[in-house]
């Protein structure tokens, strides 16, 4: 059984624990929260056999868990993942794994010094069958002429922002914004389906604190362009499309892939998606368990390396997009 520790007790951590427990390969065994009461409230739903912490240093020193899922605000991921690896834990870090490439390369250095540990970015859709179905369909295209992908959902925290509050997800101090929160899914899409672009542009609609509420990114490839639209201040119902010669791949949503089909030159539609899992984190918890249960398998190491190489590329592109749109975070100026 994989013994799981949790940092960050928001709804996404519940979704992760529920997916993990559904596989019967994981057991929640430690919870950290800034408040002990909250830690217990979170963990007591799952088991009576959980150790609780309200000090991070005690949490990392504890031998009550082997792998930690980090679901804290983005700007905290780097220090927490680094501390986890140095303490001999495997780290699963919510997307985006770090807020800039300096942090990412430091994390990789730490990992190299702790070669027994694994580091994963929890990019849930990347592990799903429907994501792979799109990838395969793209590979089968004779010619690619571009794509338009959309993921835009009005956030309830935008209401709080408009009321003058400072929710983490809209705060530069916590490395928030639409690109970091939702755009990252489509950066994964583009890199996995079309490769690393030659150049990227990002036209951000900024809020009054300089953070992006929504925006349009354009990825330039030698033969075509890919347009990504994402945001947290409006709702979009546009499907995503990938253009071949005469055929088009259509997906209901570029980050929540429920229905994917190909329309051929004659207008005939072939569905290529499977019924999505009820819990969208199921595919990743299974993938992570497959690796963590076989730490000595070279094949498992290769897969983990591939995922991490993808995280590194995504992280670089995310930074280029921010740079283009002049979106800065305090962490960009921290010394090594």
Ligand X SMILES: NC(=O)c1ccc[n+]([C@@H]2O[C@H](COP(=O)([O-])OP(=O)(O)OC[C@H]3O[C@@H](n4cnc5c(N)ncnc54)[C@H](OP(=O)(O)O)[C@@H]3O)[C@@H](O)[C@H]2O)c1
Phi-psi region of 254 (alpha: psi -120 to 50; beta: other; left: phi over 0): alpha
> With respect to ligand X, which residue has the nearer C-beta, 201 or 279?
279
Q: Kindly provide the residue ranges of all beta strands, DSSP E only, lying in the chain, ordered along the sequence.
A: 2-7, 26-32, 51-53, 67-70, 90-94, 119-122, 146-152, 199-206, 212-220, 225-231, 240-243, 248-251, 260-263, 269-271
Among 5, 8, 213, 240, binds ligand X (CB under 6 A): 8
The window from 5-13, 195-203, 213-221, 236-244 that contacts ligand X (CB under 6 A) reads 5-13
Provide the mask over 258-287, with x wherever binding to ligand X is found by CB under 6 A and - wherever it is not.
------------------------------
Size of the chain in residues: 336
**Taking the complex as a whole, how short is the minimal distance between the CB of residue 174 and ligand X, in angstroms?**
7
Token readout for 335 is 């010394």
Provide the mask over 74-113, with x wherever binding to ligand X is found by CB under 6 A and - wherever it is not.
x-x-----------------xx------------------
Among 72, 99, 150, 311, binds ligand X (CB under 6 A): 72
The window from 69-77, 220-228, 269-277, 303-311 that contacts ligand X (CB under 6 A) reads 69-77
* Residues of this chain, 109-138, that bind ligand X according to CB under 6 A: 122, 124
The window from 8-16, 140-148, 301-309, 318-326 that contacts ligand X (CB under 6 A) reads 8-16
**Which secondary structure element, helix H or strand E, spans residue 336, and what is its range?**
none
> With respect to ligand X, which residue has the nearer C-beta, 144 or 182?
182
Measured between alpha carbons, how far is residue 176 from residues 70, 183, 213, 322, 327 in Å? Answer: 16, 11, 10, 11, 10
**Taking the complex as a whole, how short is the minimal distance between the CB of residue 301 and ligand X, in angstroms?**
24
> With respect to ligand X, which residue has the nearer C-beta, 74 or 273?
74
Binding residue count for ligand X, defined by CB under 6 A: 19
Using rule CB under 6 A, residue 320 touches ligand X: no
Residue 303 phi, psi dihedral angles, 5° rounding: -65, -45
Contacts of 208 (CB under 8 A, 6+ apart): none
Written as one string, the DSSP assignment of 197-228 is -SEEEEEEEE-TTS-EEEEEEEEE-SS-EEEE
Of 220, 256, 237, 308, the closest CA to residue 130 belongs to: 256
Token readout for 201 is 């542009």
Among 62, 73, 132, 286, binds ligand X (CB under 6 A): 73
| Interface ranges with ligand X (CB under 6 A) | 8-10, 12, 33-34, 38, 71-74, 76, 94-95, 122, 124, 168-169, 181
């Amino acid at each position: 059984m994989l013994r799981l520790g949790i940092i960050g007790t928001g709804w996404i951590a519940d979704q992760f624990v529920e997916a993990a427990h559904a596989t019967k390969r994981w057991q929640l065994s430690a919870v950290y929260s800034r408040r002990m009461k909250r830690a217990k409230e979170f963990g007591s739903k799952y088991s009576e056999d959980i150790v609780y912490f309200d000090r991070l240093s005690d949490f990392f020193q504890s031998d009550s868990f082997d792998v930690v899922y980090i679901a804290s605000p983005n700007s905290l991921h780097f220090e927490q993942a680094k501390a986890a690896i140095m303490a001999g834990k495997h780290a699963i870090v919510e997307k985006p794994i770090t807020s800039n490439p300096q942090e990412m390369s430091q994390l990789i250095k730490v990992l190299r010094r702790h070669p027994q540990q694994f580091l994963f970015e929890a990019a849930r859709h990347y592990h799903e069958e429907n994501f792979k179905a799109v990838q395969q369909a793209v590979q089968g295209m004779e010619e690619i002429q571009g794509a338009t992908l959309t993921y835009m959902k009005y956030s309830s925290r935008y209401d709080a922002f408009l009321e003058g509050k400072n929710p983490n997800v809209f705060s530069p101090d916590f490395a928030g914004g639409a690109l970091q929160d939702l755009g990252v899914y489509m950066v994964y899409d583009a890199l996995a389906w079309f490769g690393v672009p030659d150049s990227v542009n990002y036209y951000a609609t900024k809020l009054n604190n300089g953070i992006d509420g929504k925006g349009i990114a354009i990825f330039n490839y030698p033969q075509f362009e890919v347009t990504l639209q994402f945001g947290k201040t409006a709702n979009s119902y546009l499907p995503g499309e990938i253009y071949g010669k005469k055929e088009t791949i259509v997906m209901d949503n570029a980050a929540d892939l429920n229905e994917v089909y190909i329309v051929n030159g004659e207008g005939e539609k072939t569905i290529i998606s499977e019924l999505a899992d009820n819990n969208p984190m199921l595919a990743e918890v299974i993938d992570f368990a497959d690796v963590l249960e076989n730490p000595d398998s070279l094949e498992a190491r290769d897969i983990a390396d591939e995922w991490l190489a993808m995280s590194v590329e995504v992280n670089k592109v995310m930074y280029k997009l921010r740079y283009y749109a002049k979106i800065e975070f305090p962490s960009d100026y921290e010394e090594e």
